[in-house]
Amino acid sequence: MAMLEVQNVHAYYGKIHALKNVSLKIEKGEIVTLIGGNGAGKSTTLRTISGLLKPREGAILLNGENLADYKAHQIVTKGITQVPEGRRIFGQLTVTENLDMGAFICRDKKLIAENVERIFEMFPRLNERRKQVAGTLSGGEQQMLAMGRALMSNPEILLLDEPSMGLAPVLVDAVFETIQKLHAAGTTILLVEQNARMALQVASRGYVIQTGEVVLHDVADSLLNNDMVRKSYMGEN
């Protein structure tokens, strides 16, 4: 049984058929990436998994349990947390206050404090800025904070939506190094990313989505050498 399974999901925005029979699986301990162009359905897939958008057809299973009847905040308690596109930090709150917001499902103050220190150990830059207002952080620091906030709920699966978007190349490298560290520490990750080359270099498997449909699925090395993927998503002729 896969840890997370999306089964034949159809999702809509009003009358717009955004996801068409999408299926994918993530095994415990994997990094799986979902790549595709703008508007292909990548973020919509994550929103549907995390309960922000309800599928009209199909099922989303976590360890065999159907999540269809759960609301988004309840799905967090089940072990799925999303780092949204654009980071969406609380700009008027401090770094520490943002992390505390990520622990809303926890009532154990000691555990929350321990998790905050764990995040600061993982992201030393945030530790240096723990009392700083989050809106004044750099883009890379805000991405670290968004990831740290998500980790405060001790998720079984982390959904990462375009973590490299808008970042300078040196910061992109740092973000992907962090993704690899999280994976090495045992976090299962579903990564949505337009930087297909970087995503496939850290993932074990990948799915390609076009206009709401999964058109290709393979191990990462094979996708890296696939002509269609190289031409369409890596800018090669």
- 55 token code pair: 């599928």
Element (H or E) spanning 180, and its range?
helix 169-184
- For the chain, domains (ranges, CATH) are 4-233 (3.40.50.300)
Helix-, strand-, coil-residue percentages of the chain, each rounded to 5: 40, 25, 35
Task: Tell me the average confidence (pLDDT) per consecutive run of 10 residues in the chain, 237 residues long.
Answer: 93 95 96 92 94 94 91 90 80 85 76 82 84 84 86 88 81 84 89 90 95 95 92 79
Amino acid at 223: L
pLDDT digits (tens, 9 = 90+) for 80-91: 998 887 678 877
